[in-house]
Chains A and B, each alone.
Chain A
Amino acid sequence: MAEVKIRNVSKRFGDTSVLENASLTIAKGEFVSLIGPSGCGKSTLLRIISGLELQDAGQITIADRVVDDLRPSARNLAMVFQSYALYPHLNVASNIAMPLRMQRLNSFQRLPVIGRFLPGSSAANDGIARQVRDAAEMLDISHLLERKPGQLSGGQRQRVAVGRALVCNPAAFLLDEPLSNLDAKLRVHMRTEIAQLHRRLQATFIYVTHDQVEAMTMSDRIAVMMDGNIIQTGTPDEVYDNPTDIRVAEFIGSPKINLIPVDVEPGRGVALLAGADSGVVAEATAVCLGVRPEAVTISPDNGLLAGTVEHAENLGSEEYVQVRLHALPDTLITSRASHGTGWTRRVGSTAHVSFDRDRILAFDGAGKRVACQPGVPHPASGKAVAHG
């Protein structure tokens, strides 16, 4: 368990820059997710922390010790890989024991057959066997210790990989998309298990994923990465409710956030959507408003903007309704309607949308977040009041 500090790390592969000046501090015992689309540099950053890849510039500190010159195994980290990366020729017990054998036995003691009889090796082997049993018990794989990886299911292999990581009591766990090879049901289950494991071990976890649900559900903090930069770090709530960048707003949240082009009235700063008063006052540089689907209210007869219901999905617990605005034909608004509202039967009909004014976000031309708050309703337009 240790603090991991990433300071101004940069990395290039040939002409392409994969990481630019990335900095992040992960506190002792914290669960931090690195999330971003593929190619954003999140896996590279994890590999740099692990020492499997060397950075071109910057510094990695683990437990106040600079580790830039240390080999991966000397950094006291453990990694769980997407493909599990178990040794196919060794059984589960030997797989889990491997890091301990490498740490505790010298190269003669590791020799097959003869190694067992060298001084000190039997005591060390007993210790290793005990720790392997403990780890297996903790992960509920004790009955699999004699099997080869080829005889295990995906979820069992995943547990073995986790077991190999936790047996050596590392300073931090690095997990590289560990759930993406599992089927959807098992993924949800393993998500819970990993979160519980984190709570039990109180260890530092660095978790790379492209799945925002995994990041949101498991993390203490999320670091959103885009194009080689960490563009926002914060708790799941902060990142969801207060994205500092339009790319964060778009990446986090499903269904995606609605983005609507906006004109800001000079002087008073009222944000106008296709001429209608949105009820918020935004900075003059704002070019677009973002509204989460659950902050969109949809009604058959009155609202801020009219449109046509283009598609509706019934998920049982709720409905996603997509409305194409009459005044802004390029904009499709997704609303999260509650269960049983029956929008699926009303595809093609007219609907009116309005927005929860407290939850409207504004972004400028460069995609940066700008100030925006509910304003005094325009006296000439009563529409904003209707659903205020």
Chain B
Amino acid sequence: MKPVSSSSSSGDLLKHAVLAIGAVFILLPFAVMISTSFKSPADIANGALRLFPTEYYGFTNYAEALSATPLLRYMANGVVVTVSIFALQLLVALPCAYALAKLKWRGRDTVFGLILFCLLIPPHAVAIPVYVLFYWLGILDSYTSLILPWTISVFGIFLMRQFFKTVPDDLIDAARMDGISEFGIVWRVMLPTALPAVTAFGIFSVIAHWNDYFWPLIVLSSEDYYTPPLGVATFRTAEVGYVFGPLMAAATIIIAPLVLAFLLAQRRFIEGITFTGMK
């Protein structure tokens, strides 16, 4: 056993200092956003760096945020789109990952290589071809156009495949002996076993698509289907001009569900990441 020396405790101090600076750096914009959402226009225009507002203006800002644009509608759209995307991603990724991790077939490694290769293709590179395709199919400006391109998540397949690799073969053989079909094994054995990894993937997926600005901006033209980030954008360019208070209130509202979801799933999320990191 090594005695706790002063050098190690000062090392700890340094570590915590670095982490604290990093945390402040990352949290500061959020703090500014939230504090601005409670400030009056005069307070904001003043330009002084102040965390707490001189006069409480929160109710006005949040009321304005919710009334100036159909923010709740945008958030409902966001929920429909992100939940559908995640559900469909699982529907595709879990059987794929199972086949890649646990079934033996000719060309499996080649296929896995191709899938890894797909990780290298940025979605923006194929945005125009997909847009043209959707134009021909006549499905632009719809939920379908928001959801369909993201249903196959290469990252999801990869992550789940790595996790499934760690599930012992005996468990799958036992399920086969018990009479569970191959698809049954995916949903009734692999999915419950891989719940931490599914949660981790869920957080990645939901955050990415809740916050996505690029793709909805391209395919949507009617405001009925707007997702939260697009909604905030309309807010900024609305005829009232730059009103930071309500804008920041709107931003706070659309971020809140993500923060809540992360806090709820945090433990499983970290479990999932560390577990997949083990092998």
Contacts and interface: CB of A to CB of B under 8 A. Distances in A.
Contacts of B170: 81-85
A79 B179 CA distance: 12
Interface string A66-86: 000001111001110111111
A77 B176 CA distance: 11
A85 B193 CA distance: 12
B192 A50 contact: no
A77 B177 contact: yes
Contact of B168 (A52, A72, A85, A103): A85
A157 to B, nearest CB: 12
B193 A73 contact: no
Interface string A83-118: 111111100000000110011000000000000000
A73 B176 contact: yes
B55 interface: no
A52 B178 contact: no
Contacts of B195: 89
Nearest to A77: B177
Given A85-B170, A85-B171, A78 B192 contact: no
A88 B191 CA distance: 11
B34 to A, nearest CB: 39
B273 interface: no
A74, A82, A85 pick with most chain B CB within 10 angstroms:
A85
B105 to A, nearest CB: 14
A85 B179 contact: no
A74 B180 CA distance: 11
Contacts of B180: 73, 98, 102
A79 B177 CA distance: 7
B179 A78 contact: no
A83 B168 CA distance: 8
B174 interface: yes
B173 interface: yes
Interface secondary structure of B, over-half rule:
helix
Interface residues of B, number: 15
B189 interface: yes
Contacts of A83: 168, 170-171
A87 B179 contact: no
A99 B178 contact: yes
A77 B178 CA distance: 9
Contacts of A86: 171, 174
Contact of A98 (B168, B178, B192): B178
Interface in A116-131: none
Nearest to A165: B177
Contacts of B192: 87-89
Contacts of B178: 73, 98-99, 102, 164
A72 B176 contact: yes
A74 B189 CA distance: 20
Interface in A47-61: 47, 50, 52
Contacts of B179: 71-74, 99, 102-103
B173, B178, B193 pick with most chain A CB within 10 angstroms:
B178
A74 B193 CA distance: 26
A52, A84, A103, A164 pick with most chain B CB within 10 angstroms:
A52
A52 B170 CA distance: 10
Interface string A244-256: 0000000000000
Interface string B5-40: 000000000000000000000000000000000000
Given A79-B174, A81-B174, A87 B168 contact: no
List the 4 shortest-distance A-B pairs measured between CB atoms, nearest first.
Answer: A73-B179, A102-B179, A85-B174, A89-B192
Interface of B: 168, 170-171, 173-180, 189, 192-193, 195
22 contacts: A50-B173, A50-B177, A71-B176, A72-B173, A72-B177, A72-B179, A73-B177, A74-B179, A79-B177, A81-B170, A83-B170, A85-B168, A86-B171, A86-B174, A89-B192, A89-B193, A89-B195, A98-B178, A99-B179, A102-B179, A103-B179, A164-B174
Given A52-B177, A79-B173, 18 more contacts: A50-B173, A50-B177, A72-B177, A72-B179, A79-B174, A81-B174, A82-B170, A83-B168, A83-B170, A85-B170, A85-B171, A86-B171, A87-B189, A87-B192, A89-B193, A98-B180, A102-B179, A164-B178
